[in-house]
Structure 1
Amino acid sequence: MTTDASGTSPVNHPEPVPQTLRYSAFTRDPAGGNPAGVVLDASRLDDAAMLAVAGEVGYSETAFVTGGDEEARRFQVRYFSPLAEVAFCGHATVALAVALAERFGPGELVLDTPAGEIPVATRMDDEGTVLATLTSVPTRSRPASDTELDAALTALGWAPGDLDPELPSHVAFGGNDHLVLAAASRARLAKLDYDFDGLAEVMRRHGWTTVHLVWRESPERFHARDPFPVGGVVEDPATGAAAAAFGGYLRTLDLVTSPARITIRQGEDMGRPSVLLIDVDPQDDRTRVTGRAVPIGDVESSVADV
């Protein structure tokens, strides 16, 4: 608070609103991938202000840098959807890492998130764009209970016969929990018309961030869709956190017997194609998730109503 020219009247000067950058992650095309907000200086924002910014941006998540050490390239990060804080978000992490690399140059970063420490390596590819590889917190995966599975299938409008019997349903963790359901066919995966409020209630009850629906094209190539009603979004076009958890799922089920790179294609059925690369090592409980992010200009990019 300051005074006016007479020195008597108080004058309030609100804190300036920090700039919100917009990137689309896991794509080369700003019209594809998953949009994320990035706020590089959120040190003066409280929880309510960050939630308000995330709601105004309207993307599935916005990443906020709340502190850090630029020289050490270590930053404190929080993530908010339009409805709530999220412990970890993969696509917003990739977007943030690319933004930091563009500001400070490529190299190693460390992000301190509510889910734990997330190292991120950034480098320039042969085409001059930044690639980011995040290393997840330790992953784990367990079979879904009959109660969990029945409730999810009912909300999705799926029958047990719609599932691939060779890929059991699990709850997988890679910073937060995701229900993993494998579709028996690509056609089943393509038809996503679910009870938004019903699935949101099931997810809140069990603490799932997304439902990770997958179809196996080959052992090294999967297609995915991620309903995200608990974040106020019908579907996420690229979900790095779910991809990290899925790496733990593959490792737990011994579906990866030697170090392997798995390609996950997501967002194709909603018109925002995305490519996520995960590196899974049966001797390492952490998943490495790689992708690009590109700035969003005037492209219509909100996915909240898709």
Structure 2
Amino acid sequence: MSQNSGTEILRYTAFSADPAGGNPAGVVLDASGLDAAAMLAVAAELGYSESAFLTGRNEPGHDGPPAVREYTIRYFSPKAEVPFCGHATVAAALALAERDGPGDLVFRTSAGPVPVTVAREGGELRATLTSVAPEVMDIAPDDLAEALAALDWPAGDLDPALPPRIAYAGARHLVVAAATRERLADLDYDFARLEALMHRLDLTTLQLVWRSSSTVFHVRDPFPVGGVVEDPATGAAAAAFGAYARALGLVPDTATLTLHQGEDLGRPGTLTVELRSDDVRVRVSGTGTRIEG
């Protein structure tokens, strides 16, 4: 915990039980007195890929408190506000669970309501978020060519079984699949060029993937529009990828996928993606822990 102009700022990592793994996020549980400029300043000072700010909580009705705690939440990268962030959602949910106890929450995001359940499993807290309704869209050939040029990835290095698409589950991500783990590991892209394309296409990250098995994937997420070279663990992109995999028939309508992310950055994390045949929404879950200091 630290103080920034009187604001209590917590630090959590999401998608790893090790503070040195996963994706760190700042969490402000009471941001009701902060405007957008102040929230952006906090996020920029922290330097994490995103931070979460709870700007309000629903009030109990006349018949008593609501069954589910609801909060209005906003997310900021060091450069801009983003509509939805999965790892900061997990971080905020874990912070609330440590303060108030596990249970069900709803975060009111600019992308729509995102239910979250926090449960204690084997001594660890685990948060599961449910995305907004997803979409999967084609990408224009010229836009894909520009993305590959910015990445310096030859088209022949892609996996033809996982064609590029734009996927959305609260934020837009371009999914591009590498044919080999070596291709995924060799990431050295043109920051400004990719940033310009992502702004034009309204993309939050690129979801770069390599398929290890039928349900296990390794992923990396360049995030230049947020002022960060790479996001260590990306819950929003994991949800979008789950929708992508289902829409393209890569996995059954009911499936559990495991995404490994952050290994190439030295911050390994694990994201679990659950698909259900009776619900178009995607569930993403993971552990997390407090970062002291």
Per the normalisation by structure 2, the TM-score is 0.94
Counterpart for residue 54 of structure 1: 43
Could you tell me how far apart the structure 2 residues matched to 1:130 and 1:215 are? 29
1:106 to 66, 79, 102: 102
Q: Does 1:205 align with 2:200?
A: yes
Q: Does 1:229 align with 2:224?
A: yes
Further displaced range: 73-82 or 141-150? 141-150
2:162 to 156, 167, 172: 167
Counterpart for residue 254 of structure 2: 259
Query: CA offset at residue 284 of structure 1?
Result: 2.3
Further displaced range: 280-289 or 164-173? 280-289
- Show structure 2 runs of 5+ residues with no match: 60-64
> 1:225-282 deviations in whole A, cap 9, x for unaligned?
0000000000001000000000110111112224111000000011000100000124
Counterpart for residue 272 of structure 1: 267
> Alignment partner of 1:43: what SS?
coil
**Matched length:** 283
Counterpart for residue 63 of structure 1: 52
Could you tell me how far apart the structure 1 residues matched to 2:169 and 2:53 are? 20
Counterpart for residue 34 of structure 2: 45
Do the aligned partners of 1:256 and 1:280 also contact (CA within 8 Å) in 2? Answer: no
Counterpart for residue 285 of structure 1: 280
1:91 to 73, 78, 87: 87
Structure with greater Cα Rg? 1
Could you tell me how far apart the structure 1 residues matched to 2:12 and 2:253 are? 34
Could you tell me how far apart the structure 2 residues matched to 1:137 and 1:274 are? 23
Do the aligned partners of 1:212 and 1:225 also contact (CA within 8 Å) in 2? Answer: yes
> 1:145-197 deviations in whole A, cap 9, x for unaligned?
10110010000001100100011000000101000000000000000000011
Could you tell me how far apart the structure 1 residues matched to 2:279 and 2:140 are? 26
Overall identity of the aligned pairs, in %: 58
Could you tell me how far apart the structure 2 residues matched to 1:258 and 1:16 are? 48
> 1:39-64 deviations in whole A, cap 9, x for unaligned?
00000100100000111111000100
Query: CA offset at residue 16 of structure 1?
Result: 5.5
Task: Report the AA paired with residue 112 of structure 1.
Answer: R
Could you tell me how far apart the structure 2 residues matched to 1:282 and 1:129 are? 28
Task: Report the AA paired with residue 51 of structure 1.
Answer: L
> 1:124-145 deviations in whole A, cap 9, x for unaligned?
011x221000000011112221
Do the aligned partners of 1:140 and 1:285 also contact (CA within 8 Å) in 2? Answer: no
Q: Does 1:33 align with 2:22?
A: yes
Query: CA offset at residue 17 of structure 1?
Result: 2.3
